[in-house]
Amino acid sequence: MRTKIVAGNWKLNNNKKESKQLIKDLKESIKKLKLKDTRVIVAPTFVNLSSSVKEAKKSKIEVVAQNMHQAKNGAFTGEISADMLKAIGVETVILGHSERRTYFNETDAALAEKVDAILENKMETIFCFGELLEDRKSENHFKVVESQLSNALFHLKGEDFKSIILAYEPVWAIGTGETASPEQAQEMHAFIRSIIEKKYTKEVAEKVSILYGGSVKPANAEEIFSKPDVDGGLIGGAALKVADFTAIIKAI
């Protein structure tokens, strides 16, 4: 049985006080939920990671990073290494988010290096990928997704996927209010699983958790999560509101 995951990407939001309060409120909100096979994850900004880890201690909430540099150290002003994250108790990193690809020009090649660094440090990644609106309109979305996965991940061994969570995010449905239909999400997730099976084995494909990330809200979460190849969600704006995020967690 694949692990169900609801991950909240806080992006550039919440100062230290706000981050701690949000985690405190979320702990209280979900403490009575039965989350035996479900992981609850939040990703604050770098400066709030350490205090957030402390606030989430002994709770069902995991704190992860929004990004990481592939180098161990060096002249990379403003960057954060795997060792720095591990030193404060962070073991999982979101990589390849569409905003990192678009605004910071992250390439598949650079992401492949980051994934390698994750594995070398015995960490875990939530690896994001997905097509633009023009790719979807030109019916090129399957090809784009396969290329992103192949370029960044398919140099790995099958066993490495134990440390990888996939997050499909149709870029046209992020922060736009648009959402891929549950059927569209299922179609793409099934396709993703099929190309992993083709490259590796059915066992590898069946065990990897694939999250959907694209304007998931309390109103649509249950229907999206009900699809057989959707194992949870990477949540943006709704993760900043305790009531909404809790409702989405309940929907899993």
Give every CB contact of residue 216 below 8 A, 6+ residues apart in sequence.
Answer: 179, 224, 233, 235, 238, 248
For the domain spanning 6-28+45-251, the CATH number is: 3.20.20.70
The 10s digit of each residue's pLDDT in 15-38 is 999 999 999 999 999 988 888 889
Residue ranges per domain, the chain?
Answer: 6-28+45-251
The pLDDT value given to residue 176: 67
The 10s digit of each residue's pLDDT in 57-70 is 999 999 999 999 99
Transcribe 220-248 into DSSP letters.
HHHHHHTSTT--EEEESGGGGSHHHHHHH
Amino acid symbol at 206: E
Catalytic positions are 97, 169
Averaged over successive runs of 10 residues, the pLDDT of the chain (252 residues) comes to: 94 98 97 89 98 96 98 97 98 97 96 98 98 89 97 98 97 73 94 98 98 91 96 96 97 92
Q: Beta-carbon neighbour count of residue 217 at 10 Å?
A: 17
Token output for 168: 């499909």
pTM of the model: 0.96
